Amino acid sequence: MRIAVVGGGPGGLYFAALVKRIAPRHEVVLWEKGGVEDEVGFGVVFSDGALGGVQAADPRLFDVLGDRFVHWDAVDVRYRGETLSRGGYRFSAVERRALLHLLRERCAEVGVTVHFGTEAPPVPLLSEDFDVVVAADGVGSATRAARADAFGPDLRPSASRYLWMGTDRVFDALTFTVVETPHGTMQAHSYPYAPGWSTFIVETTDRVLAASGLDVPDRAPEATAAAVADLFADQLDGHRLVCAGSRWGRFTVVRNRRWVDGNVVLLGDAAHTTHFSVGSGTKLAMEDAVALAMALSDHGVPEGLAAYEAERMPVVAKTQHVAEVSRDWFERVDEHVGLPAADFAAHLVTRSGRIGRLDLPLVDHGHVERVRTWFSEALSGTG
Ligand SMILES: Cc1cc2nc3c(=O)[nH]c(=O)nc-3n(C[C@H](O)[C@H](O)[C@H](O)COP(=O)(O)OP(=O)(O)OC[C@H]3O[C@@H](n4cnc5c(N)ncnc54)[C@H](O)[C@@H]3O)c2cc1C
């Protein structure tokens, strides 16, 4: 089988490495338009603390990655000078760059052909030339846009804006900070992801951004980071924020009516997104990769593509629902600012009673065992 993969994010890379490992005779070619060192994004958090089937599909990868994970069990809410802490959770995080680096190494080890710094050929060409085309080209997927009639995308941009940054202030919990600036409310989502480093995502409305003068198009990203750091000075304890070139973005919820069109299939953010406040996007993209690799191996094309879509769509829909409730809550944070600290923290952690951590899909141990057994059987004999 000849397989083309458009996009070398966590979804595309993991799929390519898995499918080539299962069937070394397949030709697997991946295009990534960014260069090897171009990744944005600091850490990625995995909200239930376990990677479930993603880990079971390639335990050796996660043995290596394991040393890079940071683990913790608390959620802190910082509000009006108080810090309210709730324990009993399980979180882990890793540097996105480290994850991508190891996935690339894995692709090289198993013999995937990877073209970095190279835009993929047009999909009609790929679709003719390859048995399967996996569109793992992210939230702005051009593949999805080119075949909008077939995929039926539903794109909902958020009302708020975010800036994804890092800081050398080390947080020891998933920390939500609310700051009441002279221009309005701003909030930060932060968590540790590597020794000496935490992710720091600031979110606010267009109105606050315009009034605070933080969204000046020609301003250097590092100057913006410094201005944001001034607003969060109490939380950062004199530490700095770094942007690594990232700019104010608008989170977009992506859904599609279908994920398969002929031999072209959507995977990861191209198919679906979940708001960063529930930290599931990377895991979902990698779970898609596992499911697609298994389905193609079991059923071939086109049945495998249909099986993948049927398996993944309902699972993803559940997480997307939770994520959207969470996003809505953060977008309307002003409705809760003014509550006493304990009430505010309780609202935030349970998102007004509508979501709690138990609403996020939990690890399905039966599924994990099935993935583990499937991969160890598929790999016995391939070396
Ligand atoms: C602020 C923020 C914070 C987040 N935090 C978390 C978190 O804590 N935990 C978590 O799990 N998730 C998080 N996410 C989500 C996570 O980043 C995504 O869900 C994840 O990266 C999806 O992986 P992917 O492989 O589908 O797409 P991407 O990672 O977007 O990769 C797509 C790749 O395709 C490439 N590409 C696009 N078009 C082409 C083309 N024509 N030719 C070649 N290459 C192409 C792009 O360069 C890109 O590298 C966050 C997202 C945001 C915005």
What integer pLDDT is reported at residue 128 of this predicted model?
98
DSSP one-letter code for 357:
G
**Cα–Cα nearest to 248, from 99, 8, 95, 40:** 40
Q: Where do we find the tokens 């996003």?
A: 327
192 lines ligand 1 (CB under 6 A): no
Distance 273 CA to ligand 1 centre (A): 9
Question: Hey, where are the domains in the chain?
Answer: 2-158+251-379, 160-242
Distance 46 CA to ligand 1 centre (A): 15
State the pairing for strand pair 27-32/113-116: parallel
Distance 139 CA to ligand 1 centre (A): 7
**Cα–Cα nearest to 293, from 146, 106, 34, 144:** 106
10 lines ligand 1 (CB under 6 A): yes
Tell me the mean pLDDT in the region 22-34: 96
Contacts of 197 (CB under 8 A, 6+ apart): 42, 43, 95, 166, 167, 168, 170
CA–CA dist 276, 87 (Å, integer) = 20
Q: Is the dihedral of CA 180, 181, 187, 193 positive or negative?
A: negative
Best mutation site among 33, 141, 191, 319 for ligand 1 pocket (most ligand atoms within 8 Å of CB)? 33
CA–CA dist 31, 34 (Å, integer) = 9
Q: Are 301 and 43 in contact (CB under 8 A)?
A: no
| Of the candidate ranges 261-275, 295-309, 350-364, 366-380, the one whose mean pLDDT is the lowest | 350-364
CA 12 to ligand 1: nearest atom: 25
The 10s digit of each residue's pLDDT in 68-105 is 899 999 999 999 999 999 888 888 899 999 999 999 99
The 10s digit of each residue's pLDDT in 174-213 is 999 999 999 999 999 999 999 999 999 999 999 999 999 8
The highest-level CATH class for domain 2-158+251-379 is alpha beta
What integer pLDDT is reported at residue 362 of this predicted model?
63
What integer pLDDT is reported at residue 162 of this predicted model?
95
Q: Which helix (H) or strand (E) holds 350?
A: helix 341-350
12 lines ligand 1 (CB under 6 A): yes
15 lines ligand 1 (CB under 6 A): no
Looking at 2.40.110.10, 3.90.1200.10, 3.30.9.20, 3.30.1360.20, the CATH number of the domain 160-242 comes to 3.30.9.20
Question: Which residue's alpha carbon is at the smallest distance from atom 37 of ligand 1?
Answer: 137
What integer pLDDT is reported at residue 50 of this predicted model?
67
Q: How confident is the model at residue 167 (pLDDT cuts 50, 70, 90)?
A: very high
The 10s digit of each residue's pLDDT in 240-249 is 999 887 889 9
CA–CA dist 102, 94 (Å, integer) = 12
What integer pLDDT is reported at residue 290 of this predicted model?
97
At residue 311's C-alpha, the angle toward residues 305 and 314, to 5°, is 125
Tokens of 294: 């298994």
Kindly tell me if the per-residue pLDDT of 279 is higher than 90: no
Best mutation site among 72, 137, 193, 360 for ligand 1 pocket (most ligand atoms within 8 Å of CB)? 137
State the pairing for strand pair 197-205/160-167: antiparallel
